[in-house]
Amino acid sequence: MDPKVVYETDRLVVRDWVDTDGDRVFDIYRRWEVSRWLGAAPRVMTDRDAAGRTIQRWNERNRDTTYGVWAVEERLTGTVAGTVLLAPLPEPSDGSTSRGEVEVGWHFHPDAWGRGLATESARGAISHGFKAGVGEIYAVVRPDNVASLAVCGRLGMRSLGRVDRWYGASLEAYVT
């Protein structure tokens, strides 16, 4: 069965994950240069079986037509370059009340870096969210993640400065 395509761009097909993507998921998330930017306590994926469980978890989240964690496949080669997500941000870790904020995020294999794929896929995710009725979309980035800060700039997102609202970390927040 073919995966559900969520949206397409000039160079990319953004779709649900399939079991055969497991090797690529493992190859992306086993790398410290990717995983060091993710979550409250960054860690690398340590075994191939974890990739299968991760794909299953992501696809369960993808049942909602607005939000998801999707594979970013290069149209010309069929290679999965990385992940793009549009998802509700977690409950605030600063004790404030959640306002239903939504996050766009991206995680790419190093062999896909520097070609504008993160920007292109995130722009598509933002458009997808707005078409579905999402009012504002945030990006939260570790302050020393220069590449992702640059993506936020290319997306035309407005900086909100450093916040301690999510993920138990001090992060640079952007909104569009």
pLDDT, residue 24, reads: 98
CA 166 distance to own-chain centroid: 15
Q: Give the whole-angstrom CA distance, residue 64 versus residue 166.
A: 22
Q: Give the whole-angstrom CA distance, residue 39 versus residue 27.
A: 18
Tens-place pLDDT, residues 93-104: 888 888 889 999
pTM of the model: 0.94
CA 41, 61, 123, 96 torsion-angle sign = negative
**5-175 in CATH: which number?**
3.40.630.30
pLDDT, residue 66, reads: 93
Torsion angle in degrees (nearest 10) through CA of 18, 24, 25, 28: -160
Beta strands in the chain (DSSP E): 5-8, 12-15, 68-74, 80-88, 102-108, 138-141, 158-163, 171-175
Tens-place pLDDT, residues 112-160: 999 999 999 999 999 999 999 999 999 999 999 999 999 999 999 999 9
* Nearest alpha carbon to residue 74 among 14, 159, 12: 12
* Mean pLDDT of all residues in 61-86: 94
| Domain range summary for the chain, segments of one domain joined by + | 5-175
Task: State the pLDDT confidence band at 61, using cuts at 50, 70 and 90.
Answer: confident
